[in-house]
């Protein structure tokens, strides 16, 4: 849980490599939930995984490092990250289906 005075930001990441079929999304949900972040993760049709998370910048830094490492069985080749202001509209952290439209 974050302090009301703690500013939150948004991280949008696309993870490429062998990241589908290895439990990557559920691994991200566990890690992000442990970190107290809100957001979602989804497989993309091009074989990548997209992750959107909101929380304090230092915690998002930890999530980014986690995404770059990946779970056992994954081979992360590249992670593209964009940071922006948070929307504050998400609750919890979930898995979304491929072909989602976003928030």
> Is 9-89 CATH 3.40.50.720?
no
CA distance 28 to 49: 10
Tokens 């770059």 identify what position?
Answer: 68
What's the DSSP call for residue 72?
Answer: T
pLDDT score, position 5 = 64
* Local confidence pLDDT in tens for the 103 residues of the chain: 445 567 899 999 999 999 999 999 999 999 999 999 999 999 999 999 999 999 999 999 999 999 999 999 999 999 999 999 999 999 999 998 776 555 5
Contact assessment for residue 11 and residue 63, using Cβ atoms and an 8 Å cutoff: yes
Model confidence, pTM: 0.88
Q: Which of 13, 8, 35, 47 is nearest to 93 (CA)?
A: 35
Active site residue 101: no
Active-site hit among 10, 31, 43, 50: 43
Q: Which of 69, 65, 64 is nearest to 53 (CA)?
A: 64
CA distance 87 to 93: 14
Active-site hit among 10, 16, 18, 25: 25
CA distance 66 to 70: 6
Active site residue 25: yes
pLDDT score, position 58 = 97
């Amino acid at each position: 849980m974050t302090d009301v005075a703690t500013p939150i930001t948004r991280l949008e990441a696309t993870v490429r490599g062998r990241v589908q079929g290895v439990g990557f999304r559920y691994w991200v949900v566990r890690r992000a939930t442990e970190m107290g972040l809100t957001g979602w993760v989804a497989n993309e049709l091009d074989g990548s995984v997209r992750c959107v998370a909101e929380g304090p910048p230092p915690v998002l830094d930890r999530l980014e490092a986690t995404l770059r490492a990946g779970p056992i069985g994954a081979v992360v080749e590249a992670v593209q990250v964009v940071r922006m202001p948070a929307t504050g509209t998400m609750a919890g952290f979930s898995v979304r289906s491929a072909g989602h439209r976003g928030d």
